[in-house]
Structure 1
Amino acid sequence: MASTLKYLLYGLVALAGSANAAPACTPADAGARTFEAEDATLGGTTVDTAQAGFTGKGYVTGFDEATDKVTFTVTSDTSKLYDLSIRVAAIYGDKRTSVVLNGGATSEVAFPAGTTWTTVAAGQVLLNAGSNTIDLVSNWGWYLIDSITIAPSASRPAHQINTALVNTAADANAKALYTYLRSIYGKKILSGQQELVYANWIAQQTGKTPAVVAVDLMDYSPSRVERGTVGTAVEEAIQHHEKGGIISVLWHWNAPTGLYDTEEHKWWSGFYTDATDFDVAAALSSTTNANYTLLIRDIDAIAVQLKRLQDAGVPVLWRPLHEAEGGWFWWGAKGAEPAKKLWGILYDRLTNYHKLNNLVWVWNSLQTTWYPGDATVDILSADVYAKGNGPMSTEYNTLIDLGKDKKMIAAAEVGAAPLPDQLQAYEAHWLWFVVWGDSFINNAEWNSPENLKKIYTSDYVLTLDEIQGWRNA
C-alpha cells in the first residue's frame, strides 16, 4: 500500500517502556507519539525478540487466530484527527490487519511483504478527548507488530482535479457527468447500491433511492452466454438512468476459456483465478495466439452492450478489471504487468476501435506498481470491506497519493456504507459509495437499519431525488 506522504508526519520516536507500566510517550498533542506494542494489552498474542531491529524491548507476534489482537491505549487533550502509522515486519508475505478505534469503526491496512521492519501508513483516527483504544486485529494474520505512531493530521489542501476526461472524443453525456462530479467532489457524496433490486429495497427501508446504481456485465461474458446465461444489466441500467440516476458498470469477466467446471469450481465462477487455467500473461504474449483472439472476442461482445447504453444516452462509470492487485481474479493472477497491458488493450479497443465515447474510466486498485497511468484513467477507486461504517481513510489517502490529487476518488464497492459525520471529520472526500448486494446491504451486522436511515437522510449524502437535473449542473 502506498504511503500517505502528504499527510503523514514522519517524526517517529522509538520510546522504550516497561512491559508492566503505561507506555512511555511524549505529552498529549505535543506532536508525533510512538507506543510500543510490547507495552500494550495483548489478546491471544505474545511478545518476542527473535526478529532483529525492533525498538523498545520487543515486539508482538502470534496473530494466527481471527480474534488475536494488540490493544493500544492513547490519549488526546481534545477531539482531534491523527495520522496513524504502524511499524511492522510482514516476513510471511503480503498481509492485512484490521484497525479498530474505540471498539467501533474498523479499517483495513495492507502490509507489504518484506524481510525487515518497515513503517506503513494506516490512515487516520479521530480520537476523543481523554482515553482511546486502537486495536490491531489479526485479519490475514501472521505478521509482527513493533509499534504505532500517531501525529496530528494536517488540514487537507484544496483538490486539483483534472478538468477533462482522458478520452478527447468523449461525448456530451460523459462530459456532463464528469463536470457534475467535479462540482460536488469534496462537498457531497453520492449514495450508491449494487443491483437495482437492492436499490429499490433501500427505498423501501429509508424512503430514499440511491443516486448511483451499479450493474455487472458478467452474464454477457461469452463463456457464460454459451452456457445459457441471459444478461439483464443493460435494461436495469437504462431503467435507473431514465429516472435521473447515475450508472456504474463493472464486469466479472468469466475467463474466455479453460473453465474447470468441477464440483469445487463451477463454470459460473470462472472469473476466479482458482476456477480456470486461463493464463492472461500467455494470452498477451502475442497477438496471433488463440487465447489473445478470445480476449478480443470477449471485449467485442461487451462493447455491444456498452454501445446499447451509449445509444440510450447513458454515460457510464466504467470499472473493468476490478481488484486486479488482489490476484483472486484471473486478470490479476499473473501480476501487475499483464493486468496493465490488458487495461491498455481494453481502453484502445473500446475507445478507438468501437468508438465508445460514453465511458468514464475508473481504475480500481491501490498499489502504485499496478497503476496503468494517468493517460487512460479518469477516476480512482477502491473496494473496501470493513465493518463499522467508518470513513475508509487509509484507502482514500493512498489513492490521493496515487493520483497526486488530480483524480477524483470513489468507494466503488463497500461492505458497510460510510457514516457522513465520519467522512466529514476525516476529510475523506469519497465521490460515491456503492454497497454490495446480498449479505451486505441487507445484513444488520454490516448495515443496521438505524445507520442506513442516518446515511440516507443526511444532507451530506446525495440521493436520487437530490441529483435530478445533474446534466445541467
Structure 2
Amino acid sequence: MVRSLRSLLYGIVALAAGANAAPSCPARSTSTSVSAQPSATAPAARTFQAEDATLSGTNVDTAQSGYTGTGYVTGFDQATDKVTFKVDSATTRLYDLSIRVAAIYGDKRTSVVLNGGASSEVFFPAGTTFTDVAGGQLLLNQGSNTIDIVSNWGWYLIDSITLTPSVPRPAHQINPAPVNPAADANAKALYDYLRSIYGKKILSGQQELSWANWIAQQTGKTPALVAVDLMDYSPSRVERGTVGTAVEEAIQHHNRGGIVSVLWHWNAPAGLYDTPEHRWWSGFYTDATDFDVEAALSSTTNANYTLLIRDIDAIAVQLKRLQTAGVPVLWRPLHEAEGKWFWWGAKGPEPAKKLWRILYDRLTNYHKINNLLWVWNSLAADWYPGDATVDILSADVYAQGNGPMSTQYNTLIELGKDKKLIAATEVGAAPLPDLLQAYEAHWLWFAVWGDTFINNEAWNSLANLRKVSHCSLSGVERKRFCVELTPHRSTPATTSLLWTKSRAGEGRENQGCMAESLVAVEFTTATMIGTGDEDWCHQLSL
C-alpha cells in the first residue's frame, strides 16, 4: 500500500509575510506577538551598562581598561553565571543586539536568553580590548523584558549591551546558477528550486534516515530533507571493517521524493591513536590523531598528501553512485572547520581552505562529478574559501529553546553579501516557524541532529515537533485542496517531485498544495483531492 504524500511529508514552512505572500502558521499562544515587523522609522539605539544589571554568580570589576560607565562584569566561570538586563519596550519590536565584550582569554561563546525562553549562541573573538560584537536580533515584548547573558564557555568581560531597532531586510540577490559551470541537469533543477523558495519557505530536515522515519511515526510527517554521512566509507575505517550504508539510504530517500544532504566525518587518513581514550572510530577528531593537514598539504609528493588524494578518490566512488542514480546532492565536506575540533581545521584557516579547493578540483574537474551543490560550513570570514567554489553557506547551531538562530543567519548574510543561499545544516532544536518569520531568519533548511537531540524532550518536545510538522501555509485545516506537480529534476519521475503553489478554492490564494500519493505523477493540471479531517494544505518538497 502506497502511503499518502500528505502523511509522508514533514514539510516546508512558509516564511514570507505581506499581502502577496503565503500565509504562515498561526502565532503561538504566548504573551509575545510574533507578527511584529521591523520598522524603518524606529526609536534610537539604547545602551545598558552591565554593572547596573542584575548579577548571578558574577561581579563588577574595573581592572581592565577601556570600559564604559563605571565598570564591567566578570566572573563567568560556572555554567549558571549570568548578567540579566531589564529592558522596556513601548511596542512589540525587533531589535539588533550588540554586546560590548573583552574576550581576553581567547575565543569564547556565550548564550543570550530572552525572557527566560529561547536561547541563542554568540561567538566572541579573542581580543585584548573591549569591542562591540553583533549578537543577532531580539523580539522584545511590549512592556518589560529580560535579556540574560549566560556563561556558556565563560571567561570573558561584559561591559554593556546596545539595542538598535531593526530595519527590514532588502530583497535577496542570490546567484542565478551553481558555481560549477558543468553542473548536471539534476543539480541545476534543485538549485533553481531552492533559489525559488528562499526567503519564502523553509525545508525541514533530519540527520539520518532512521530518525526521519522516527519523526514520521511520531508526527505523521517525514522531513523533506535527510542528511547522511559518508564517514564509514573513509579508507581508514574501511580497512578496520566498516561497511557504509549512507548511499543506499540517500537513494531511498530520493526515491520517495526527498532531498538529500551529504556530509563526511572524514576519518584521518593515517596517524590514528586507537587508544582506550581515543578509539580509531573517532579518528576525525583532532585529539584522536596526529595527522597534520598543514604538513600534508605542504608538498604534493609527500606520503600524507597522497593519502588525502586516495581518500578523496574513495569518496568520489560513492558520490558517482549518487550521480548515476540521478540524485542531486547538497554536499557538505570539511564541516565545522573553524571549531578546530576536527583535524581538517586543527591548523587554522589556510590549510582548511586549501583542502577545500583541492576537494572541489578533484571531484569536479578530475572525477567529473557534477551532481553536487557545494555547502560551506563555517562562519568566520578568514575561513571562507571564496565565492568561486561555494553554492550555499551554512551554520551548525546547538542552542535550546527552538529559537530563530538570527546571530548566525545575519553573520552568513554578511559573509556572502546576500548572494548565497543560507542553511542551518545541523541544529539541536527545530526552530519554530512563527519565530523564523518574525525574525526574518530565512534559513533555506534546518536539519536536526539525531540521537540525544531529536528524541530529547529538553531539546525537541513532541509538541513542538508536531507543531512544526503540522504547520500549514493557511494555518487552518482544509477539507479539500488542489495539486499541481513540478519535477525538481530534469526528467519527471515517479520518485522525485516538488509541488508548486496553486489556488486551492474557497477564495484563498497562494495556498501551498501537494499530491495525494506517490503514484500521482501523471497529474499535470490542478486536481481536487482529499476529504479527511486530517487533511492540511502544505507546501512540501518531494
Under a length normalisation based on structure 2, what TM-score does the superposition of the two structures give?
0.81
How far apart, CA to CA, are the structure 1 residues paired with 2:380 and 2:43?
Answer: 32
Letter in 2 for 1:246: I
Shift of 1:458: 1.1
Give the equivalent residue in structure 2 for 1:16.
none
How far apart, CA to CA, are the structure 2 residues paired with 1:231 and 1:346?
Answer: 21
- Contact 1:245/1:467, CA 8 A, preserved across alignment: no
Give the equivalent residue in structure 2 for 1:81.
94
How do 1:29-40 and structure 2 match up within 5 A? 30-40=43-53
- Contact 1:414/1:434, CA 8 A, preserved across alignment: yes
- Contact 1:244/1:467, CA 8 A, preserved across alignment: no
How do 1:401-416 and structure 2 match up within 5 A? 401-416=414-429
Give the equivalent residue in structure 2 for 1:333.
346
How far apart, CA to CA, are the structure 2 residues paired with 1:64 and 1:322?
Answer: 29
Give the equivalent residue in structure 1 for 2:287.
274
Deviating beyond 6 angstroms after TM superposition, the runs of 4 or more aligned structure 1 residues are 465-468
DSSP-derived class of the 1:131 partner: strand
Segments of structure 2 that go 5 or more residues without pairing to the other structure are 1-41, 475-482, 490-497, 501-542
DSSP-derived class of the 1:191 partner: strand
2:242 corresponds to which of 218, 224, 229? 229
Structure ranking higher in helix proportion: 1
- CA 1:342/1:154 → structure 2, altered by over 3 Å: closer, same or farther? same
1:453 corresponds to which of 455, 463, 466? 466
Deviations 1:106-159 (Å, cap 9, x if unpaired)?
Answer: 000000000000000000000000000000000000000000000100000000
Q: Percent identity?
A: 83
- CA 1:467/1:214 → structure 2, altered by over 3 Å: closer, same or farther? farther
DSSP-derived class of the 1:122 partner: strand
- Contact 1:187/1:460, CA 8 A, preserved across alignment: no
Give the equivalent residue in structure 2 for 1:12.
none
Deviations 1:370-400 (Å, cap 9, x if unpaired)?
Answer: 0000000000000000000000000000000
Letter in 2 for 1:470: H
How far apart, CA to CA, are the structure 1 residues paired with 2:65 and 2:261?
Answer: 48
- Contact 2:110/2:153, CA 8 A, preserved across alignment: yes
DSSP-derived class of the 1:263 partner: coil
Give the equivalent residue in structure 2 for 1:17.
none
Give the equivalent residue in structure 2 for 1:21.
none
Shift of 1:434: 0.2
Letter in 1 for 2:146: T
Give the equivalent residue in structure 1 for 2:318.
305
Shift of 1:469: 3.6
Shift of 1:31: 1.0
Deviations 1:236-259 (Å, cap 9, x if unpaired)?
Answer: 000000001000000000000000
- Contact 2:423/2:443, CA 8 A, preserved across alignment: yes
2:488 corresponds to which of 446, 470, 473? 470
Shift of 1:466: 11
- Contact 1:244/1:469, CA 8 A, preserved across alignment: no
- Contact 1:420/1:460, CA 8 A, preserved across alignment: no
How far apart, CA to CA, are the structure 1 residues paired with 2:209 and 2:485?
Answer: 17
How far apart, CA to CA, are the structure 1 residues paired with 2:388 and 2:121?
Answer: 29
How do 1:124-273 and structure 2 match up within 5 A? 124-273=137-286
Shift of 1:467: 8.9
Give the equivalent residue in structure 1 for 2:493.
none
How far apart, CA to CA, are the structure 2 residues paired with 1:466 and 1:269?
Answer: 47
Q: Does 1:47 align with 2:60?
A: yes
- Contact 1:188/1:460, CA 8 A, preserved across alignment: no
Give the equivalent residue in structure 2 for 1:441.
454
- CA 1:369/1:444 → structure 2, altered by over 3 Å: closer, same or farther? same
How far apart, CA to CA, are the structure 1 residues paired with 2:339 and 2:473?
Answer: 32
Letter in 2 for 1:366: L
Deviations 1:282-330 (Å, cap 9, x if unpaired)?
Answer: 0000000000000000000000000000000000000000000000000
Structure with bigger RCO (C-alpha 8 Å, 6+ apart): 2
Shift of 1:470: 3.3
- Contact 1:211/1:467, CA 8 A, preserved across alignment: no
Letter in 2 for 1:337: E
How far apart, CA to CA, are the structure 2 residues paired with 1:452 and 1:271?
Answer: 31
Letter in 2 for 1:122: G
DSSP-derived class of the 2:453 partner: helix
- The root-mean-square deviation of aligned C-alpha atoms, in Å, is 1.3
2:434 corresponds to which of 407, 413, 421? 421
Deviations 1:10-64 (Å, cap 9, x if unpaired)?
Answer: xxxxxxxxxxxxxxxxxxx631000000000000000000001111110000000
- CA 1:279/1:467 → structure 2, altered by over 3 Å: closer, same or farther? farther
Letter in 2 for 1:282: A
How far apart, CA to CA, are the structure 2 residues paired with 1:469 and 1:125?
Answer: 39
Give the equivalent residue in structure 2 for 1:288.
301
How far apart, CA to CA, are the structure 2 residues paired with 1:43 and 1:458?
Answer: 38
Give the equivalent residue in structure 2 for 1:103.
116
Letter in 1 for 2:270: T
Give the equivalent residue in structure 1 for 2:524.
none
Segments of structure 1 that go 5 or more residues without pairing to the other structure are 1-28
How far apart, CA to CA, are the structure 1 residues paired with 2:214 and 2:141?
Answer: 35
Q: Does 1:63 align with 2:71?
A: no
Shift of 1:468: 7.4
Give the equivalent residue in structure 2 for 1:7.
none
Give the equivalent residue in structure 1 for 2:23.
none
- Contact 2:186/2:488, CA 8 A, preserved across alignment: no
- CA 1:205/1:466 → structure 2, altered by over 3 Å: closer, same or farther? farther
Q: Does 1:351 align with 2:369?
A: no
Letter in 2 for 1:389: N
Give the equivalent residue in structure 2 for 1:23.
none
Q: Does 1:386 align with 2:399?
A: yes
- CA 1:374/1:91 → structure 2, altered by over 3 Å: closer, same or farther? same
Q: Does 1:362 align with 2:375?
A: yes
DSSP-derived class of the 2:249 partner: helix
DSSP-derived class of the 1:348 partner: helix
